[in-house]
Amino acid sequence: MSEIIFIIETSDEGGYTAKGLGYSIYTEGETLDELKENIKDAVKCHFDAKELPHIVRLHMVKDEVIAI
């Protein structure tokens, strides 16, 4: 595998959540740095060493509401 994509969102409770697209991988972290480390750990736990993706792409989703 060459790449895996994670959708990153802010959590209602604070911090961030990450979901692997097409895989049952979910993790969270209080900061972006903590989240990135947790994603690395989750990917290493999910795949065998031979199947590890070469690239982990993070897609940041920001839901913003503005008043008019």
Cα-based angle 11, 44, 60 (whole degrees, multiple of 5): 30
pLDDT in tens, 42-56: 999 999 989 999 999
Tokens matching residue 24: 């049952």
Residues listed for the chain: 68
Calpha distance 35→27 (Å, rounded): 7
Domain spans in the chain, listed from the N-terminal domain onward: 3-60
Q: For 9-63, what is each residue's pLDDT tens digit? A: 999 899 999 999 999 999 999 999 999 999 999 999 999 989 999 999 999 988 7
Give yes or no for residue 68 having a pLDDT over 80.
yes
Residue 65 scores a pLDDT above 90: no
Residue 1's pLDDT band, with cuts at 50, 70 and 90, is low
DSSP state of 29: E
